[in-house]
């Protein structure tokens, strides 16, 4: 029996959860975001397939979505608790499949590691189990590692299964743009294009030492391998250990006075601290996320002199960072992040350069 990696991804997860509890919304363009008021400053979390047909997608400001949306579109507020509980139900169901190791990546996706001669059968069983337990549909990517499984899922959507391995990698991906690779964003795509590397095959054929010179020893090697679909194949169910917690908020009106900004900084820093304190771990670093007009987000960080378990220390650090902002430019506060000391010995999980939880 061979080892396989399956990537399970819920179809339009948030919108699907909303339709599930309000069946009259089936077939209607549903847009979930912010407090559900399209006149407010907020963005789209998820749009149903019906809404996507009008060019509405996640990350888009609600005000823009409102202009594109047809008259019968429905805007709904984000309901984290509902998605958390649906997510937990999905994960629990998948964990119950025989012989699988499950690694959670996000609310609506995970990897399954399984030894089998028929991965399509396991994929079908996963889809059926999730549908029966939750009423939700998902797509499954089958791969010989995490990178290929993850990319395969896109070809399976919606409600399908797709297998991507070393055998069909170049046939499927070779002529596609580098941006379609997991971990290649707009900036890296540009830097690759500047060196004449536009397609996946060109990336695979590129000179690794040139990529190392451009991106550094780890990312250079990683991107080169990505061109051939190379990536980690071990699915790891080690419990997640958070490294930091942050609080961000969208102010409906920009803060204008120093007193307003200080009050907001103290509030957000205090909340971020509380999330860390709830885990019983000291804070070692504080970051501010701000936006300079017109649209340039920046992060400023400061290491604390000592790891602290005092709320006020974190608030003071945030205020100090706030005082160091460029006063000559229009700046909008977005949020505060508190970075925690790792537990002794860390979490024992080996990292790969793909950002986020892999």
Q: Known catalytic residues?
A: 109
Find all residues with CB under 8 Å of 181, minimum gap 6, and list them. Answer: 147, 151, 173, 200, 203, 226, 227
Q: What is the dihedral of CA 207, 212, 215, 220, to 10 degrees?
A: 70
At closest approach, how far in Å is the CB of 42 from DNA?
A: 5
8 A C-beta contact, residue 302 and residue 321: yes
Residues in contact with DNA, counted by CB under 7 A, come to a total of: 60
Among 82, 97, 101, 105, binds DNA (CB under 7 A): 105
Find all residues with CB under 8 Å of 351, minimum gap 6, and list them. Answer: none
Among 64, 131, 193, 319, binds DNA (CB under 7 A): 64
| 218 is a contact residue toward DNA (CB under 7 A) | yes
**Which among 102-110, 165-173, 231-239, 256-264 is the span making contact with DNA, rule CB under 7 A?**
102-110
45/31 Cα distance (integer angstroms):
8
Backbone angles phi, psi at 16, to 5 degrees: -65, -40
| 334 is a contact residue toward DNA (CB under 7 A) | yes
| 207 is a contact residue toward DNA (CB under 7 A) | no
Among 101, 219, 233, 341, binds DNA (CB under 7 A): 219
Length of the chain: 358
Instruction: Please list the residues that pair with 299 across neighbouring strands.
Output: 289
| 43 is a contact residue toward DNA (CB under 7 A) | yes
Instruction: Please list the residues that pair with 336 across neighbouring strands.
Output: 247, 288
At closest approach, how far in Å is the CB of 118 from DNA?
A: 26
52/10 Cα distance (integer angstroms):
16
Among 249, 258, 329, 343, binds DNA (CB under 7 A): 249
47/56 Cα distance (integer angstroms):
7
Give 219 or 255: the residue with its C-beta nearer to DNA. Answer: 219
Among 21, 159, 298, 329, binds DNA (CB under 7 A): 298
Give 165 or 189: the residue with its C-beta nearer to DNA. Answer: 189
Among 84, 301, 320, 343, binds DNA (CB under 7 A): 301
**Which among 15-23, 165-173, 256-264, 293-301 is the span making contact with DNA, rule CB under 7 A?**
293-301
For the chain, state the CA radius of gyration.
22
Give 63 or 329: the residue with its C-beta nearer to DNA. Answer: 63
Collapsed DSSP state (helix, strand, coil) of residue 2: strand
Helical residues (DSSP H) of 60-137, grouped into ranges: 62-68, 80-95, 119-134
8 A C-beta contact, residue 340 and residue 282: yes
40/43 Cα distance (integer angstroms):
9
| 329 is a contact residue toward DNA (CB under 7 A) | no
* Look-up of token digits 């690794």: 208
At closest approach, how far in Å is the CB of 110 from DNA?
A: 9
At closest approach, how far in Å is the CB of 336 from DNA?
A: 9
| 111 is a contact residue toward DNA (CB under 7 A) | no
At closest approach, how far in Å is the CB of 172 from DNA?
A: 18
| 357 is a contact residue toward DNA (CB under 7 A) | yes
- Strand stretches in 117-266, DSSP E: 138-143, 161-164, 244-248
| 189 is a contact residue toward DNA (CB under 7 A) | yes
Binding footprint of DNA on the chain (CB under 7 A)? 34, 41-43, 45, 58-59, 61, 63-64, 105-109, 150, 182-189, 215-220, 242-250, 275, 285, 294-295, 298-303, 334-335, 337, 349, 351-357
């Amino acid at each position: 029996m061979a080892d396989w990696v399956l990537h399970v991804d819920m179809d339009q997860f948030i919108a699907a959860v909303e339709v599930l509890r309000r069946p009259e919304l089936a077939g209607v363009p549903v847009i979930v975001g912010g407090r559900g008021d399209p006149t407010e400053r907020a963005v789209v979390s998820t749009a149903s397939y019906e809404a996507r047909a009008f060019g509405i997608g996640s990350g888009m400001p609600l005000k823009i979505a409102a202009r594109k949306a047809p008259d019968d579109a429905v805007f709904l507020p984000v309901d984290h608790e509902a998605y958390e509980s649906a997510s937990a139900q999905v994960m629990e169901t998948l964990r119950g499949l025989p012989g699988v190791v499950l690694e959670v990546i996000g609310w609506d996706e995970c990897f399954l590691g399984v030894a089998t001669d028929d991965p399509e059968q396991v994929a079908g069983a996963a889809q059926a189990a999730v549908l029966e337990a939750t009423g939700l549909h998902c797509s499954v990517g089958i791969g010989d590692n995490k990178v290929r499984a993850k990319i395969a899922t896109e070809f399976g959507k919606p409600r399908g299964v797709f297998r991507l391995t070393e055998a069909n990698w170049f046939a499927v991906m070779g002529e596609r743009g580098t941006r379609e690779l997991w971990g290649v964003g707009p900036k890296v795509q540009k830097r690759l294009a500047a060196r004449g590397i536009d397609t996946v095959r060109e990336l695979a054929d590129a000179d690794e030492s040139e990529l190392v010179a451009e991106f550094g020893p780890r990312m250079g090697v990683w991107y080169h391998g990505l061109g051939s679909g190379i990536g980690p194949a071990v699915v790891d169910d080690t419990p997640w250990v958070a490294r930091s917690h942050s609080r961000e908020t969208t102010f409906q009106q920009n803060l204008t006075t120093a007193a307003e900004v200080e009050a907001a900084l103290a509030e957000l820093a205090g909340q971020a601290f509380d999330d860390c304190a709830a885990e019983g771990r000291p804070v070692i670093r504080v970051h501010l996320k701000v936006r300079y007009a017109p649209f340039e987000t920046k992060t400023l960080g400061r290491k604390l002199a000592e790891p602290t378990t005092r709320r006020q220390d974190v608030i003071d650090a945030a205020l100090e960072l706030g005082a160091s902002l460029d006063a000559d430019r229009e700046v909008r506060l977005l949020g505060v992040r508190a970075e925690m000391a790792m537990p002794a010995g860390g979490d024992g999980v080996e990292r790969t350069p793909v950002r986020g939880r892999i």
